[in-house]
Structure 1
Amino acid sequence: MATVPTAAVAATGLIGGYGVARWTKRRELGGVVPAAAGAAAANRWRRQAGGGVAAGLTTAYVAAFAGSHPLAGRLGAWTSVLTVTAGVAAAS
């Protein structure tokens, strides 16, 4: 069985989290999606590349999630989310 690339898992978490929060108007529901995807990606990063790489990529993932919020004021919400997602996907 083919596995989903970790870049896709991370991207799904960030984009999906924003989408859920926006369309349900419930930020806490939107937070569940990136948390679950981030945990899954971190576990895979650790198994595939080791703890140090997993820690770095997890830090980048969390920073992207947090950084997308102030960036949205400058770029717009979707553009911000897609920009930080591209960075995390490329790194992973």
Structure 2
Amino acid sequence: MIKENDITCTACNVMDIGTIIQESDTLAHMRLSGENMDTLQQTLTDLAREVENEPCEIKVIELDNGEREMAFDFSCAAEKLIFEMRARRLM
């Protein structure tokens, strides 16, 4: 009969959060194109306002090819990450 021991490993698959998410990584970029750019721009702005704890700085740049680039500068990396995860379903 084989006897099994329960072994608990508290260090397996553990990584310091700063290894993956840098605290200074607060800037998110989104490129918009197509017929619904105005609607998408407003939706992304509303989403940023939902996520922000402190005011998010939002810049919109009109590109030569008719597209727009939006830059969202959040107050912390966690807000940026939450915004990007929620925005994925829109893009």
Which interval holds the TM-score relative to the shorter structure? 0.3 to 0.5
* More strand per residue: 2
Please give the TM-score of this superposition, normalised by the length of structure 2: 0.36
Q: Report which of the two structures shows the higher radius of gyration computed on alpha carbons.
A: 2
* More helix per residue: 1
